[in-house]
Structure 1
Amino acid sequence: MANIGKITRISVRDEFPDEARNFTPWLKENLHHIGEKLDLNFLDAQTEVSVGRYSCDILAHDSDERRIVIENQFGNADHDHLGKILTYAAGLEADILIWIAEDFLPEHIAALNWLNSIASEEDSPSFFALKINLIKIDDSNPALEVNPIVRPDQWTRQEKVARISREKSDKAKKYNEFWTHFIPYFDSVKPGFKNRTPPYDSWINFPSAKPGLQFTFYFWKGKYPTISLGIVGGTKDENKKTFEKLQTHQSELNSKFPELDWYDNPGNKSKSIEYYIDKEYDFSEENRKDVMEWFSKNMQAFESTFNPIIQNL
């Protein structure tokens, strides 16, 4: 007879004594648990971000530059945290708001569903409620269980259509296959990198030493291996100032990477500094290792060169 274990659900507080000091920092480093449920890639996560007299638990961005607010609490959801969610939506101009609790009252579920239903514009904020618990099987270590109980109706449709579209694309499958091999490869030099789902897109990001700036591996024009530093997290004026500050180091940076491309993108909020190899990658297994080595070697040099400068901006 099969040996089937017993599942036990325990309170989050049993493993994390203090929400702010224990659970929130842990969640910041393990946002892939939520990302996998909502099909989101979290970038540049910060904790305790000031909003007037209040502090948002976690503020992050995704690969589409959407601003994501996460508010978590132990026990049952309450009116106080609903008010905070609305405050952060306005104060941080959030695109996605995720409320996490161990249980939700019908009134709070109805409130979030109503907020989603009255969103009239495509760029209106999206509200989510996630019910969390810790589970154990017999004497195993606890694992986080995440159950979305509120999400916008259009979100499910849009994400499903987008996922099917990506999966049907031959190019997307090639990207996914490459990242599936590259993520564990790069994790050997940057531990923690493997805690992500291989995307079907031509790029993959990770945070720099400063919130709002991110490093990216991608294939320019879908075929040229490229690494970049993106300035994406601030307003248009803030990003322009950051870009201009980095330009004061242009001689130093160009001496280490002689063919850096500086993209001011005057009409856009985001700016970038990029370095690529002028050699097409055919996504063959035969050439995969060479591209992974180029990505890894040059990104390590890129990161070690830019991060000290970024920290002092």
Structure 2
Amino acid sequence: MGKLEMVDARQVWPHEAHDFTPWLLANAGTLGDVLGMDLELSAAEHAVGTFALDLIGVDQATGELVIVENQLAPTDHTHLGQLLTYAGGTDAVNVVWIATRFREEHRAALDWLNTRTDEATRFFGVEVGVVRIATSPPAPLLRLVAQPNDWGKSVRAKAQAEGGSSKGQEYQRFWTQMLAELSGRQLDWTRSGKGLVQNWLALPSGTTGITYRCSFGRAGLCSEIFFESPEPAVNDARFAAAEAKRETIEGTYGGPLRFDPLIGKKGCRIADYRAGQIGLTEDWQEYVEWFIACQTRLRTAMTNVFGSLSPMGR
């Protein structure tokens, strides 16, 4: 067996801004795996006032903003100050600090921030290294050294809230059950493993501004593909491209779909529905099966027609 050896990170990424930050931008999934997020990074050197944040993006599973401050060196006070400045300037939910080594004082500072801030603010510390075996290509090694105590935060939030939502807790249990089914069936639709208290579950499509979703609403259960680019013209073009292929999409899907332009709204959708409500816990497994079956058919139909969702319109 070969021996695992550490490699100087500067041999792989000679320059932090010119090499390491672009690598992170192109390999968001690697960082997302460590953080447990469906991470999509959309910009490098994002302006925050007169300063420039290394990376900004979103957790596609929750829609929450993620900012990243990275350095190819041990942590220092300067970068801690920058991290807090950027967090305040962007109002980020998830704040990520990456360094080659975390000094104990700085790791403790992130732990303190996670303890003192509310449940909607999370700080992560990630150590980055490079390894290889003999003459193999170098491989990145990312290790989570600081993370939020979500359990502690949720307990505090529940204790402080008046009349906590039992329905929210039901949604959380249901989505956790469904995510476990996706993992057990090796359906690589999301990296998330923990359900949230909202009535919907977002599943990334691999294309910015397009998301697959499962949700509960007034009409019952909804399985959909949702066009949600911040540019309305992009959504309109993508929806029109799909509507022009409606007969083929529905033929592959195996039934009718509702094409809803959602005039005046922030996006538009193609969806299928069935009766159901979150309170009928005895039907949850049936709901899970329906969501998985419909999402599988919808993904197959869209892929067969377009190959990739990227060419649908920009």
Could you state the TM-score of these two structures normalised by the residue count of structure 2? 0.69
Contact 2:119 2:153 in 1 (8 A): no
Contact 1:262 1:273 in 2 (8 A): yes
Q: Structure 2: which amino acid aligns with 1:88?
A: Y
Structure 2: unaligned runs, 5 residues or longer: 155-168, 196-200, 247-257, 276-286
Contact 2:176 2:193 in 1 (8 A): no
Distance 1:250 1:10 in 2: 45
Contact 1:182 1:292 in 2 (8 A): no
- The equivalent of 2:93 in structure 1 is 95
- The equivalent of 1:263 in structure 2 is 262
- The equivalent of 2:271 in structure 1 is 276
Distance 2:14 2:129 in 1: 14
- The equivalent of 2:81 in structure 1 is 83
Distance 1:153 1:279 in 2: 37
Give secondary structure in 2 for the equivalent of 1:141.
coil
Following TM superposition, by how much is the alpha carbon of 1:305 offset from its aligned partner in structure 2, in angstroms?
3.5
1:153 aligns with 2:149: yes
1:293 aligns with 2:300: yes
Give CA-to-partner distance per residue, 1:92-143, whole Å, 9 cap, x none. Answer: 1111111111112222222222222221x222x2111111110111221111
Give secondary structure in 1 for the equivalent of 2:72.
coil
Following TM superposition, by how much is the alpha carbon of 1:177 offset from its aligned partner in structure 2, in angstroms?
6.1
Give secondary structure in 1 for the equivalent of 2:144.
strand
Name the CA shift for 1:256/1:182 in 2 (closer, same or farther; >3 Å): farther
Corresponding residue to 1:74 among 65, 72, 75: 72
Corresponding residue to 1:134 among 126, 130, 135: 130
- The equivalent of 1:28 in structure 2 is 25
State the superposition RMSD in angstroms.
Answer: 3.9
Q: Between 250-259 and 11-20, report the one with greater CA deviation.
A: 250-259
Following TM superposition, by how much is the alpha carbon of 1:17 offset from its aligned partner in structure 2, in angstroms?
1.2
Taking only the aligned residue pairs, the percentage that are identical comes to 22
1:117 aligns with 2:112: no
Distance 1:12 1:253 in 2: 45
Could you state the TM-score of these two structures normalised by the residue count of structure 1? 0.69
- The equivalent of 1:57 in structure 2 is 54
Contact 1:176 1:198 in 2 (8 A): no
- The equivalent of 1:18 in structure 2 is 15
Contact 1:166 1:200 in 2 (8 A): no
Structure 1: unaligned runs, 5 residues or longer: 184-195, 232-238, 308-313
Distance 1:149 1:294 in 2: 42
Contact 2:182 2:188 in 1 (8 A): no
Give secondary structure in 1 for the equivalent of 2:300.
helix
Name the CA shift for 1:250/1:156 in 2 (closer, same or farther; >3 Å): same
Following TM superposition, by how much is the alpha carbon of 1:276 offset from its aligned partner in structure 2, in angstroms?
3.0
Q: Structure 2: which amino acid aligns with 1:230?
A: E
Following TM superposition, by how much is the alpha carbon of 1:295 offset from its aligned partner in structure 2, in angstroms?
2.9
